[in-house]
Amino acid sequence: MNNVPDSHQDILETKGTAFLATIGPKGAPNVTPTWYLWDPDAQQLLISTTAGRQKSLNLKRDPRLAVCIADPENPHRYVEMRGPAKTVKPDEGHRVVNALARKYMGLDEFPREMMGEGRVVIRIDPQRVICYGAAKAR
């Protein structure tokens, strides 16, 4: 595991967009913008998606990925993470997607849930972390 330095932890707490790159079934890259949660204790990134989306299907077949999160105030300052998806498991009780709704929308529950739509949580355990740009002035 490669930890994100203190100089860039603030990016992981923002309401930014994570650009998740996976490997498609024919070997071509697939990049998707998505919301994310950062678990500072585990040093892991969490993403919730529907079970049938291409990114979750790609990761079940090939767990290799890269994700880039830019500082919303300065897109030239960012955190890139590389490594396998540690797990792709059901979002039991929609805990993660509801936490994302609180973070990004200020709502207790994710409002766009479709009946019967299964959700999964992608838990990313970064093996390599690359940070670019100076620490934010305090």
Whole-prediction pTM: 0.89
| CATH number corresponding to 6-132 | 2.30.110.10
Structure tokens at 41: 């204790």
pLDDT band at 1 (very low <50, low <70, confident <90, very high): low
pLDDT band at 116 (very low <50, low <70, confident <90, very high): low
Type of residue at 135: A
72, 39, 63, 132: CA torsion to nearest 10: 40
**Taking the alpha carbons of 21, 43, 38, 80 in that order, is the dihedral positive or negative?**
negative
For the chain, the structural domain boundaries read 6-132
